[in-house]
Structure 1
Amino acid sequence: MNVTLVEINIRPERVAEFLDVFRANHEGALKEPGNLRFDVLQDPEVKTRFFIYEAYKDDEAVLAHKKTPHYLAWRGKARPDDVGAA
């Protein structure tokens, strides 16, 4: 099993855009055969901070996820200062 926790900090003016763009990645990931869990959590105290909890069957499933159209679309729109692993 491969579990990853990602922290994403979004500038206040980009939160709505982030939610729109990330929704397709979230919904697509849940349908992947190797996906065990994919949670998107917004910090209730810091509304610009999100945590993504991903669990995949194995490393191959993670690599497959990173080649999907929904993941590539999200990464293509993300800015380097938006994403950092927790």
Structure 2
Amino acid sequence: MIIIHAELKVNPERREQFLEESKTLLTATHAEEGNLSYELYENAGEANSFIMVETWRDAEAVSNHNTSPHFTTFSAKAGEFLAAPLDVKVFSAEQVK
């Protein structure tokens, strides 16, 4: 199982654009083969700071996602609404129980 944490710092003036683009990405990603979860959370202690928490069956599912039209479209637009570089951490895990 692959777990990804993508931290996003969003320009306050582009917050609504970011949220709209994220909704499209989330909906399409939830339907992907190999996606176990894909959620966006906002940091309650820091305005316009978000984390995308992704759980994937395997590396192949991640690779397919990274080349999907909805992900590449979101990535191409990310520069329009991000206030800082994306911070991505990738983990390998197994479910204990």
- The one-letter amino acid paired with 2:78 is A
Tell me what 1:83 maps to.
Answer: 86
Q: Which runs of 4+ in 1 moved over 4 A?
A: none
Identity of aligned residues (%): 26
Q: Give the TM-score normalised by the residue count of structure 2.
A: 0.82
Residues 32-60 of structure 1 show CA distances to partners (whole Å, capped at 9, x for unaligned) of 01000111101122230001000000000
Tell me what 2:11 maps to.
Answer: 11
Counterparts of 1:23 and 1:72, CA distance in 2:
15
Counterparts of 2:76 and 2:47, CA distance in 1:
23
Gaps of 5+ in 1: none
Aligned pairs, number = 86
Greater Rg by CA:
2
- The one-letter amino acid paired with 2:59 is D
CA positional deviation for 1:69: 0.9
Q: Give the TM-score normalised by the residue count of structure 1.
A: 0.91
Q: What's the RMSD between the two structures over aligned residues?
A: 1.4
1:29 touches 1:35 (CA, 8 Å); kept in 2? Answer: yes
Gaps of 5+ in 2: 90-97
